[in-house]
Amino acid sequence: MTISANNSIATTGLTILGSTGSIGVNTLDVVSRHPQRFRIIALTAHTQVDRLFDQCKEFKPMMAVMKDEEAADQLKKRLQSEGMQIEVKFGLDGLMAASTHKGTQAVMAAIVGAAGLLPTLEAVKNGKRVLLANKEPLVMSGAIFLEEAKKSGAQLLPIDSEHNAIYQCLPDNYIAGQAYEGLEQILLTCSGGPFLNAKPGTLVDVTPEQACAHPKWSMGRKISVDSATLMNKGLEVIEASWLFGVPPSRIQVVIHPQSVIHSMVKYIDGSVLAQMGNPDMRIPIAHALAWPGRIGSGAKPLDLFEIARLDFQKPDMKKFPCLQLAYNAAEQGGTAPAVLNAANEIAVEAFLERRVGFLDIPRIIKHTLQTANISKDITLSSILKEDSAARARAHDYINSNIKGVA
């Protein structure tokens, strides 16, 4: 955020990578409440031409990006028919152009999965303020990501409700990636997902619809399944380890069904600080957009009397083996987290397509990790190579060992 000569807050140029997803839509909702503070520079989408067209009509970005040339042509024709002169690009080159646009000061990195790694890393290399909603860049390449931020002076602000909560509980001058000597432990809260109270035997026949029916949060299908398996929390453990400079052994996952306390920080003097709020992603989005100030998010204010109680419990690692697999990969280090992430993306995709069962997801991930050649040589090339190899092994395992489900 820049300040104009008369001390008023100047407009921030904002690019949203993944504007048609849940985080992107919520970001635009917050932006629409503060039209004088933000100027949309670029919007990107996967295949949702209709939704991106509507967003372009409302927010009039300078650039719009689609996944492929066919979708980009469709969007370009529709924009031209409305007389809108918006530059349209596609593919990875388009994403790179959007994330490094000279008019952009802040980039909301909200592309789900490994696809968001390269454009997000490029924004970091160009010294942008990166609002990190996509956890995969840090999961896959945390050391590289933080080193590039240090070189360029890029500012990293977490958007995941848990990591944003932790960030808010740390000192005002805290810089992402640095170890804070007064921090003893991170308490990473978790709703428990839709199957928190389900008996293990009942999970055999879980459908994609059931797995995506999260009791508290409205999210995309992939993240919803990750929440149901607790893999989402496992990936967040790895992300938190990098973001806050603590080993995984000092990050405790805490089941908190009400999703009111979004995470806590335990200090060496015995203090525990918590950030609270209703389960609404517009709260961490507004915090990061306005940092170090505050703006209205549109979220419903928290009423403690309405909540009445707050419950906590330890996660069942046997019932949710994906969480243990994530801890193991985090402790192993090297390219293990990238393998974990790649195998999980393939397994979840197969589950959503009904090619594998819900309980097959951790089996696929475990097999892929066990057959991986984990490297301690962390370079972008080695990470991308192992990511590709892990996806191939996961596909092969599914095709050779798992029958489709009804």
Mean pLDDT, rounded, for 134-160: 92
Instruction: Report phi then psi at 116, rounded to 5.
Output: -85, -5
| Range with lowest mean pLDDT among 3-17, 22-36, 65-79 | 3-17
For the chain, list the domains and their CATH numbers: 12-158 (3.40.50.720), 177-278+302-331 (no CATH), 333-395 (1.10.1740.10)
**Higher local confidence (pLDDT), 112 or 309:** 309
Global pTM reads 0.90
Average pLDDT, the chain: 92
Quick one: pLDDT band at residue 7, thresholds 50, 70, 90?
A: very low
Per-residue tokens: 158: 């977490």
Residue among 189, 192, 182 nearest 164 (CA): 189
Give the helix/strand (H/E) hosting 183: strand 183-190
Angle separating helix axes 231-244 and 221-229, nearest 10 degrees: 90
Distances (CA, A) of 13 to 28, 38, 101, 402: 13, 6, 9, 48
Give the separation between CA 8 and CA 333, rounded to whole angstroms: 46
DSSP letter for 9, please.
B
| Range with lowest mean pLDDT among 100-104, 211-215, 238-242 | 211-215
Give the separation between CA 291 and CA 12, rounded to whole angstroms: 12
Q: Is the dihedral of CA 75, 76, 77, 81 positive or negative?
A: positive
Amino acid present at 81: S
For the stretch 23-64, pLDDT in tens is: 999 999 999 999 999 999 999 999 999 999 999 999 999 999
Provide the 10 A C-beta neighbour count for residue 203.
18
Do 174 and 245 touch, CB atoms closer than 8 A?
no
pLDDT at 242 over 80: yes
For the stretch 266-277, pLDDT in tens is: 999 999 999 999
For the stretch 299-316, pLDDT in tens is: 999 999 999 999 999 999
What percentage of the chain carries pLDDT values higher than 90? 83
292 upstream amide cis, omega within 30 of 0: yes
Quick one: pLDDT band at residue 403, thresholds 50, 70, 90?
A: low
Distances (CA, A) of 292 to 150, 172, 295, 325, 391: 20, 8, 10, 36, 40
| Range with lowest mean pLDDT among 54-68, 99-113, 201-215, 349-363 | 201-215
Residue among 373, 295, 292, 386 nearest 338 (CA): 386
